[in-house]
Amino acid sequence: MDTVQTLIHDLSGLPAVVRQVEYRTKGFHLELELALPELVACTELLRTRDFYLVFISAVHLDPVITVIYQFASFQYPCRIMVRLPVDAECSVPSIAPIFDGANWHERETRDMFGVLFRGHPYLEPLLLAEEDAELKPLLKRGGALKTAENIGWAAASDQQRDVEP
């Protein structure tokens, strides 16, 4: 079993949707859809497999904001895109204790989208002035929201397949 297939097998042990996608069209090799409770276990697994955090951001969709994580491997060519919907309080667990680089990305995502990262060591404004801390400049208004289907996440193409555990 090659390294990507081993990783797929390990990730399939989590309650997650794991898809192998075409790197040339997507820019990453694996796509994961997680629920909130699986985030920490997933990132701990990636950390033990010598992955590093590339970025964290979010997208404001209907009905809920989705936090986007991208990881890459030090050992072999593999990039992973993780999507995680926020909870009713617009919060997710912080992964800053697992990946030090998450600190800055989580603070930026809080500034721009208002996502709270539970357990973050210093979730203070990073880019916005103190008086603009509640501005949330990347949140969309009413009719401007799209669904995951409208932006192409939900429909599986012929270049993408779900991976069975």
**pLDDT tens per residue across span 4-30:** 888 999 998 888 899 999 998 888 999
| CATH superfamily, region 3-143 | NADH:ubiquinone oxidoreductase Nqo5 subunit (3.30.460.80)
CA distance 21 to 73: 16
What pTM, to 2 d.p., does this model score?
0.87
Q: Summarize the confidence of residues 62-76 as an average pLDDT.
A: 93
User: Which residues touch 81 (CB under 8 Å, ≥6 apart)?
Assistant: 26, 28, 30, 31, 32, 68, 69, 70
Q: What is the spatial order of strands in the sheet that 79-85 belongs to?
A: 51-60, 65-73, 79-85, 30-34, 16-21, 160-162
If phi > 0 it is left, if psi is from -120 to 50 it is alpha, else beta; for residue 18 that is: beta
CA distance 25 to 89: 34
Q: Summarize the confidence of residues 99-128 as an average pLDDT.
A: 94
Q: Are 96 and 117 in contact (CB under 8 A)?
A: yes
Q: Name the least confident of 62-71, 99-108, 123-132.
A: 123-132
For the chain, give every domain's residue range.
3-143
The closest of 129, 134, 144, 92 to 114, measured between CA atoms, is 134
